[in-house]
Structure 1
Amino acid sequence: MDIFDKKDISPMLISEMQDPFDSEDYIYEIKWDGIRCVSYLDETTDMRNKRNKLMIPIFPELEDLYRQVKVKCILDHELLVLKNGAPDFYEVQKRALMTNPFKIKLSSEKYPASIIAYDILYYKDKDVTDLPLIERKKYLQEVVIENNLISVSRYVENNGIMLFNLVKEKGLEGIVAKRKDSLYWQGKKSKDWIKCKVMSTDDCIICGYILKSNNMTSLVLGQYDDDTLIYRGHVTLGASLRILNQHKYKVIDYSPFGYVPEGNNDAVWLAPELVCIVESMPTEKDSFRQPVFKGVRDDKSPKECKVEK
């Protein structure tokens, strides 16, 4: 049984994050903010996420995707929902969790999904994962008929820093650098593919903490909107009670926000006095996306931690 019939491909994974760089050995693509999927296209569309969950029942507007390829193939791609011309990760994630057919239909009409294909793993009746990336890209360009459902990821050669700066200017997630001669290793994390993310830093007030399983600690974050303390979500990655205990803080018996935000019933509340640095993905939402705790700072007062407008 070949990889098309098995339908159990685990996408190749991207290596650790690095600063953007230039190299003649790499191509550079935009890192799209969606859900990584693999589609098996022949006389039907069989789309699966990284956990091999069937996605067409949740994204029925992509059912005819198979009509947009010239031959039987397997595509590695990002599943996106665009709002105001930009990928909206929250919208695509919200849809992915839906089970009600009526709500799915309404959502598919209001915010239709599309895909951006960046690799081809199977062409006609042949596994092409052992071909160099630059050759797979040629097959991909040849196979796909672009329309509102599907587009092919564009790339630049050599100039990674230039693309990164453009992506940063547009408020997108980042770029991926891929060696031109890289093969496709299913389910493997290869240093042939490197992500360069655009991250933003914010000064936040530590307003409490929540002790979680596996000895993890989430810090409750706040910022000021004029004179009102606003809840800004949690940060867990990089945070710990050990680090917090290295600093002076005061436990209080009420929420400093004036109410208990959803999901914070188990919080130990703190006087809003400690300022920390949080690194995260750009977002227009009320909380941070993929936040990382970078440390406490004493060179700023809590009142200087402002919500960006």
Structure 2
Amino acid sequence: MRPMLATKGTHVPTGAEWSHEVKWDGVRILAEARGSDVRLYTRNGNDATVAWPELIRSEAAARDLAVDGEVIALNDRGIPDFRMLRDRMHLRRPADVARLALETPATFMVFDLLRLDGRDLTSLPLEERRALLTGLDLGGSAWQVPASYDDGAMLFDATLQQGLEGIVSKRRSSRYRPGERSREWLKFAHRHRHSYVIGGWRPQEGTSDRLAAVLVGEQTAEGLLYRGRVGSGIGGKVSAQLAELLAPLARADSPFSDEVPRVDALGTRWVEPRIVIDVDTHGVGYTRLRQPSYQGVRHDLVAEDL
């Protein structure tokens, strides 16, 4: 079975016919339990059971059921972060899986119930499926049932302030349609704009002087901490302007207080951390910026202002 998918929405719907949930930044998983056997599947139908051993030990395993949900893990700021799961997604060796399961424990946020005790529930309205799911009482296990809310605007604002990924709004009457992208489920992702300091730049591939991306950091009590590489939004004219600004600031070593990943550091031209730019990004509270987009130089700010 393939999961039902949400359509990107333009405005959060209102009214009693809609319920609203947190949009989790994780890995979409369908799970089946038959007695003591629990199997986990990706959205493409691949068996991912071996990658998540802590998720197959659940009170739900005693029932015959199928559920839909999102596997999440928290970063060091307590925010669900997909990148915390990347090292685990494709592991197959039991020793490696067990080690990372201890280092980065996962939680299965179950938001829909598709089968229970042999009964196919996909033709039932969402509201009835959710009531049955809540009745399973999964609290205390690695499977959790996140709350749903009546006030979408409130949830949208709350998740924005908390640095979460966004929300999903669902019609209470919606049937579960495997593999379909439906307008009865609408998703709303947050975008945030913040200021960061440039600590280096990378040339376009095949060139030595044409700026393609900048490496940015956040001013903290521990110094300038690396937050990622920004290339989106830097076109020809912007590239030339940034290159001119950064040329007099060249230095031999990294200005970041922490280690820059090798994939980002290789070929980077380091600069004194003087230039502040605004970056539009998907979500806050992450160690590295999510889907960052360059928005412009802040000529009214210096690094110390941050």
Q: Percent identity?
A: 21
1: CA distance, partners of 2:127 / 2:162 = 27
1: CA distance, partners of 2:54 / 2:62 = 20
Assess, with a 3 A threshold, how the Cα gap between structure 1 residues 266 and 160 changes in structure 2: closer, same or farther.
same
CA contact (8 A) 2:111 2:146 kept: yes
Q: Which of the numbers 2, 18, 21 marks the counterpart of 1:10?
A: 2
Assess, with a 3 A threshold, how the Cα gap between structure 1 residues 160 and 101 changes in structure 2: closer, same or farther.
same
1: CA distance, partners of 2:67 / 2:224 = 47
1: CA distance, partners of 2:278 / 2:221 = 20
2: CA distance, partners of 1:39 / 1:246 = 51
Q: Which of the numbers 130, 134, 144 marks the counterpart of 1:151?
A: 144
Assess, with a 3 A threshold, how the Cα gap between structure 1 residues 53 and 210 changes in structure 2: closer, same or farther.
farther
The residue aligned with 1:163 is 155
Assess, with a 3 A threshold, how the Cα gap between structure 1 residues 86 and 40 changes in structure 2: closer, same or farther.
same
Q: Which sections of structure 1, spanning at least 5 residues, go unmatched?
A: 1-8
2: CA distance, partners of 1:293 / 1:150 = 35
CA contact (8 A) 2:273 2:303 kept: no
Q: CA deviation at 1:296?
A: 1.0
The residue aligned with 1:292 is 292
Q: Which of the numbers 131, 154, 170 marks the counterpart of 1:138?
A: 131
Assess, with a 3 A threshold, how the Cα gap between structure 1 residues 229 and 107 changes in structure 2: closer, same or farther.
closer
Assess, with a 3 A threshold, how the Cα gap between structure 1 residues 96 and 227 changes in structure 2: closer, same or farther.
closer
The residue aligned with 2:174 is 182
2: CA distance, partners of 1:88 / 1:224 = 23
The residue aligned with 1:122 is 115
1:54-65 maps to which residues of 2 (within 5 A)? 54-65=47-58
The residue aligned with 1:247 is 241
2: CA distance, partners of 1:219 / 1:18 = 31
Q: CA deviation at 1:115?
A: 1.4
Q: Which of the numbers 99, 104, 108 marks the counterpart of 2:97?
A: 104
CA deviation map 1:245-299 (0-9, x unaligned)? 46353264756735894223244667766543212312252x21x2331521344
Question: Which letter maps to 2:277?
Answer: C
1: CA distance, partners of 2:143 / 2:195 = 39
Instruction: Tell me the matched-pair count.
Output: 291
Please say which of residues 247-256 and 98-107 is displaced more in the overlay: 247-256
The residue aligned with 1:265 is 266
CA contact (8 A) 1:39 1:75 kept: yes
CA contact (8 A) 1:41 1:73 kept: yes
Question: Which letter maps to 2:235?
Answer: L
Instruction: Give 3-state SS (helix, strand or coil) of 1:148's partner.
Output: coil
CA deviation map 1:109-133 (0-9, x unaligned)? 4543331210122334444333322
Q: CA deviation at 1:149?
A: 2.1
CA deviation map 1:68-111 (0-9, x unaligned)? 16642210011133578945424333333444422322333454
* TM-score w.r.t. length of structure 1: 0.76
Q: Which has the larger share of strand?
A: 1
1: CA distance, partners of 2:33 / 2:163 = 32
1: CA distance, partners of 2:49 / 2:79 = 19
Query: 1:33 and 2:34 equivalent?
Result: no
Query: 1:234 and 2:229 equivalent?
Result: yes
Q: CA deviation at 1:46?
A: 0.5
Q: CA deviation at 1:39?
A: 0.4
2: CA distance, partners of 1:182 / 1:93 = 32
Q: CA deviation at 1:169?
A: 4.4
1: CA distance, partners of 2:50 / 2:173 = 36
Instruction: Give 3-state SS (helix, strand or coil) of 1:277's partner.
Output: strand
The residue aligned with 2:278 is 277
Assess, with a 3 A threshold, how the Cα gap between structure 1 residues 137 and 104 changes in structure 2: closer, same or farther.
same
The residue aligned with 2:209 is none
Q: CA deviation at 1:154?
A: 1.5
